[in-house]
A and B are shown apart, each in its own frame.
Chain A
Amino acid sequence: MPTITIKENEHSYDESEIITFAEGLIGLPQMRRAVLIEMDEFEPFCWLASVDKDNTRFIVVNPHELFAGYEPLLFHTPSNPLTLTIVKISSDWTRTTVNLRAPIVIDAKTKMGAQHILTGSDYQFAESLPQN
């Protein structure tokens, strides 16, 4: 089984778990194949990590864990969507922001994903954590 190392922990993954981004992510066209790695200690946050040489990785979260009413309007939504938002961690954790403007939507069945920019939306690309 191939493995990926995050925070000194080696995580093995199966080829079938690989998510394919046909166009990469916005500004990161090399991020084409990635896996989602969950770690108990960081729940509900997880890692979206490239399985290729570029070594790109993001901290992501299911936006509904933080923003209950979040409803991105997409032109096309897969039947089994898995929505993730990219988290920009700050060393002062209270200043962490979440990109609600450009969610990553993955078809859970085909494992094909894309990052979408929401149009006509008030969601921010650096949304602060909810206050309460």
Chain B
Amino acid sequence: MLVLSRRPGQKIVVGNEIVIEVISVSGDGVRIGISAPGSTSVHRYEVFTEIEEANRAAKAAISDDERSALENLSAHVRTKQK
């Protein structure tokens, strides 16, 4: 990992388009501004890992015995749609 020291107002550039600025520091908190192209997703790491976990859990939930659960579920949804 690259570690850099920056002061409030100073910036870091990642690639050609992403600029990260330290806006302010107070106590043990840091406010960070990120400018990136719209196609680049920027998220708090916790949110990202939450989705990562959700994907893995959904994948793991598919086992041989979920057929009947899925049959019941789809029957339930279809009944409601009628």
- Report which A residues bind B (CB closer than 8 A): 7, 25-28, 41-45, 56-59, 65-66, 75-76, 86-93, 96, 99, 101-102, 115-117, 119, 125-126, 129
Contact = CB atoms under 8 A, between A and B. Distances in A.
Interface stretch (B8-16, B20-28, B45-53): B45-53
B70 A102 contact: no
8 contacts: A27-B52, A56-B59, A86-B55, A88-B54, A88-B57, A92-B69, A101-B51, A102-B54
Contacts, number: 97
A65 B56 CA distance: 23
Contacts of B50: 125
Nearest to A91: B69
Given A58-B59, A86-B55, 5 more contacts: A42-B74, A43-B74, A44-B77, A76-B38, A126-B54
Contacts of B53: 27
B17 interface: no
The 4 closest A-B pairs by CB, nearest first: A27-B52, A88-B58, A93-B69, A93-B73
A59 B67 contact: no
Contact of B41 (A44, A101, A116): A116
Contacts of A43: 74, 78
Contact of B67 (A7, A26, A119): A7
Contacts of B76: 93
A74 to B, nearest CB: 10
Contacts of A26: 48, 51-52, 55
Given A59-B58, A65-B77, A76 B72 contact: no
Contact of A89 (B52, B70, B77): B70
Nearest to B42: A119
Contact of B74 (A25, A45, A58, A92): A45
Nearest to B39: A76
B60 to A, nearest CB: 9
